[in-house]
Chains A and B, each alone.
Chain A
């Protein structure tokens, strides 16, 4: 089994009572969680990455426990080896594109002005066509470019899997189509397992090997498999 996760979390507030209760097992390379906004998809992804802690449950990747409320295993986000691309991209606004991309390579306490030569960085700059904007700041580049930078930054940490939160939501239609194909091609090339969450049927068609439908914090119906 590639992924196995069972998550339970209650959100209680005076305005809203929301509960996440999902149970997913999948062998798919490309797993898609599909559902409308507010259905709890982002919360699920953040629980997988360790950014939010479930009340109880289990997160397994390749049969290894990342979180297990019964045995008390709870790896920090740093130690899960799962890269995460945020819906808002979350590029560090005070750092250049190159500094953003090489962020994970620098283990010191301070940001470096100059980066050391690195073959992997050069490869990604070329592959994702980012060389021309390497010294620009995030507010100076376009949405499509931001998306590529976020992807390059995530891949630079050499993750075991990639988590993508609505990666195309803030792009216009044409760009969305292009980047969707780019991502599918890239994924085939590097062969890294991925979970993508989306509310767009086109994303599902282009990228999903197995699709789970999420509504109201729960998995609805049987998963759809493209095979």
Chain B
């Protein structure tokens, strides 16, 4: 019984965190590259806006999402009308909450990684007649990947542990939107100490594994010319 109690929220948590992390890996890295390489008006203001989810209470964030994505909200009403999509109380809603909460971790990590990569490597590749897209994949990304990956793993851990915003937007529907952290809360509320203990242990193991992997990959080793 205990295993099925844990299995369903564990799989859901990994699914939600996995998709949220994949989304951030594309969006966060792309936006970070733009911030690291281009100058535009209001850049630092926009940076602060994009970092806000890291410092704002998740419940506040969840409330914002509820207002925006709810049936009466501007985005929610549009999605319902045009595509008959409803995000509230769905696992897809949980993905959105987890993506937004963990976005700054990928964005900040990747921006720092791109900014610490010397621009002359990219310039050297440009004058060697290699396309911009190939330069990004063959030079920029390989030089920045450690910093990016560390941010991505932290974002995965943060997504997997998401509680406040997820509860606000996706609720706690067992088997549908009840992730591990929400299941722990429900188990404690219901006085099911055994279930709670098991879930807590499981969550701790998942989080520790991610942290250990990210610690191994974090940029501690700087490649230098040693001359």
Cβ A109 vs Cβ B138 within 8 A: yes
Cβ A157 vs Cβ B120 within 8 A: no
Interface string of B113-137 (1 = CB under 8 A from A): 0000010110111111111011001
Interface string of B186-216 (1 = CB under 8 A from A): 0000000000000000000000000000000
Note all chain B residues with C-beta closer than 8 A to A46: 123
Task: Give B225's nearest chain A residue, CB to CB.
Answer: A139
How far is it, in angstroms, between the C-alpha of A121 and the C-alpha of B152 when the chains are bound? 39
- Chain A contributes a number of interface residues (CB within 8 A of B) equal to 37
Among A83-91, A191-199, A214-222, which stretch is in contact with chain B?
Answer: A83-91
Tell me what chain B mostly uses at the interface: helix, strand, loop, or mixed: helix
Interface residue from A86, A107, A109, A111 paired with B142 (Cβ < 8 Å): A111
Cβ A92 vs Cβ B121 within 8 A: yes
Task: Give B145's nearest chain A residue, CB to CB.
Answer: A94
- With A51-B123, A90-B121, A94-B143 as known contacts, state yes or no: A104 contacts B138, CB within 8 Å: no
Cβ B128 vs Cβ A103 within 8 A: yes
Q: Which 5 A-B pairs have the closest CB atoms?
A: A90-B124, A104-B128, A77-B126, A84-B127, A90-B120
A interface, CB within 8 angstroms of B = 46, 49-51, 76-84, 86, 88, 90, 92-94, 103-104, 106-111, 138-139, 142-143, 146, 153-154, 156-157, 170
Q: How far is the CB of A161 from chain B (nearest CB, A)?
A: 11
Note all chain A residues with C-beta closer than 8 A to B79: none
Cβ A94 vs Cβ B227 within 8 A: no
How far is it, in angstroms, between the C-alpha of A93 and the C-alpha of B142 when the chains are bound? 10
Cβ B127 vs Cβ A77 within 8 A: yes
Cβ A78 vs Cβ B131 within 8 A: yes
How far is it, in angstroms, between the C-alpha of A156 and the C-alpha of B128 when the chains are bound? 9
Cβ B128 vs Cβ A153 within 8 A: yes
Which residues of B in the span 127-169 have a Cβ within 8 Å of any Cβ on A? 127-131, 133-134, 137-139, 142-143
Most B CB contacts (10 A, CB to CB) among A79, A108, A142, A170 go to: A108
Cβ A110 vs Cβ B128 within 8 A: no
Task: Give B120's nearest chain A residue, CB to CB.
Answer: A90
Cβ B223 vs Cβ A82 within 8 A: no
The answer to the question of B224 belonging to the interface, with a C-beta cut-off of 8 Å to chain A, is yes
How far is it, in angstroms, between the C-alpha of A76 and the C-alpha of B227 when the chains are bound? 33
Cβ A84 vs Cβ B227 within 8 A: no
Interface residue from B127, B129, B130, B223 paired with A93 (Cβ < 8 Å): B223
Cβ A90 vs Cβ B123 within 8 A: yes
- With A78-B130, A110-B138 as known contacts, state yes or no: A139 contacts B224, CB within 8 Å: yes
Which residues of B in the span 73-126 have a Cβ within 8 Å of any Cβ on A? 118, 120-121, 123-126
Interface residue from B129, B137, B143, B225 paired with A78 (Cβ < 8 Å): B129
Cβ B127 vs Cβ A51 within 8 A: yes
Note all chain A residues with C-beta closer than 8 A to B143: 92-94
Q: How far is the CB of A104 from chain B (nearest CB, A)?
A: 4
Note all chain A residues with C-beta closer than 8 A to B137: 109-110
Cβ B134 vs Cβ A109 within 8 A: yes
How far is it, in angstroms, between the C-alpha of A88 and the C-alpha of B123 when the chains are bound? 12
The answer to the question of B39 belonging to the interface, with a C-beta cut-off of 8 Å to chain A, is no
Note all chain B residues with C-beta closer than 8 A to A143: 227
Interface residue from A78, A106, A109, A142 paired with B126 (Cβ < 8 Å): A78
Cβ B226 vs Cβ A157 within 8 A: no
How far is it, in angstroms, between the C-alpha of A157 and the C-alpha of B225 when the chains are bound? 24
Q: How far is the CB of A31 from chain B (nearest CB, A)?
A: 18
Task: Give B133's nearest chain A residue, CB to CB.
Answer: A109
Cβ B128 vs Cβ A157 within 8 A: yes
Cβ B142 vs Cβ A82 within 8 A: no
